[in-house]
Homo-oligomer: A and B are copies of this chain.
Amino acid sequence: MITIGQLAGYVGVSVKTVRVYHAKGLLPEPDRDVSGYRRYGADDVVALIRIRTFAEAGVPLARIRELMTAGEEELRRALLDIDGRLTDRIRGLQATQARLRELASGEPTLLPAGVHAHLEALERWGFTARWVELQRDLWILVFATHPDRAAELFRDQSAMLSEPALRQLFLRYDHAYGLDPGDPRVEELARRIVDATLSRYGADTPPEADAASGVPALVQSRINAASPAWRRLDSLIRAGLGAAR
């Protein structure tokens, strides 16, 4: 009959771990020898190895306790479940590793070079510093959280700004910042933007919106918070686009 230290050293865990498993009822308390030491048999080694296999797979100890006294059928289903979760975790870690490596290689590329150029162009076209900064934050967000779709969205946006007529609309949006929310120019601008959006994308969803991520909403809420006129503008545009669908 072996001692707790041998059992533990043997399966590759600490003595404490074995005692914890006793306390939590995973491993039955064995008989004691005359001096009160726990004495284990070969079956306990086998049981402990099973427990460790589950534990290393990430199964909570409380669940392992249930499994140790579970029937064939339940055990079979549980093993399938555990296996699936383990596969997920492994995939997750591999994804993390990929992100880590990206972080290791392209460290200081918060934004692709094209975006910087675009932001400088905005300034030259007469956009306010406030607007440019909002745009900068928007693209940092989009590139950080949706690296896959960001480039496409950016190309679309960039193309829009290069058309003078559309650029005018954005410029007017920018400069509407200080207007009174009731100013008729706000309503007129909203109408024009709705028209332009519909003629560009039809009644389909524009690209930003199907990045279902909440990024556009997030940025929009931030824009709205900055000015009452902008808030009204946003609400009018939404209503206009909503009615067209």
Contact = CB atoms under 8 A, between A and B. Distances in A.
B140 A53 contact: no
A130 to B, nearest CB: 12
B145 A45 contact: yes
A57 B145 contact: no
A214 B145 contact: no
Nearest to A137: B42
A43 to B, nearest CB: 7
A226 B217 CA distance: 76
Interface string A191-232: 000000000000000000000001100100110010000000
Contacts of A49: 144-145
Interface stretch (A76-84, A152-160, A162-170, A171-179): A76-84
A235 interface: no
A96 B57 contact: yes
Interface stretch (A22-30, A86-94, A117-125, A236-244): A86-94
Contacts of A103: 50, 53, 79
A97 to B, nearest CB: 5
Interface string A13-57: 000000000000000000000000000011101100110011011
- What bracket does the count of chain A residues touching chain B fall in? 35 or more
Given A137-B42, A141-B45, A144-B46, A100 B79 contact: yes
Nearest to A59: B100
Contacts of A57: 93, 96-97, 100
B110 A56 contact: no
A11 B100 contact: no
Output the residue of A45, A94, A96, A225 with the most chain B CB within 10 A.
Answer: A96
Nearest to A11: B145
Interface string A123-161: 000000000000011101100110000000000000000
A99 interface: yes
Contacts of A144: 42, 45-46, 49
**Minimum-distance CB pairs A-B, first 3:** A42-B137, A42-B140, A79-B104
Given A10-B145, A43-B110, A46-B110, 11 more contacts: A1-B222, A6-B218, A6-B221, A42-B137, A45-B145, A46-B144, A79-B100, A79-B103, A86-B96, A86-B100, A90-B90
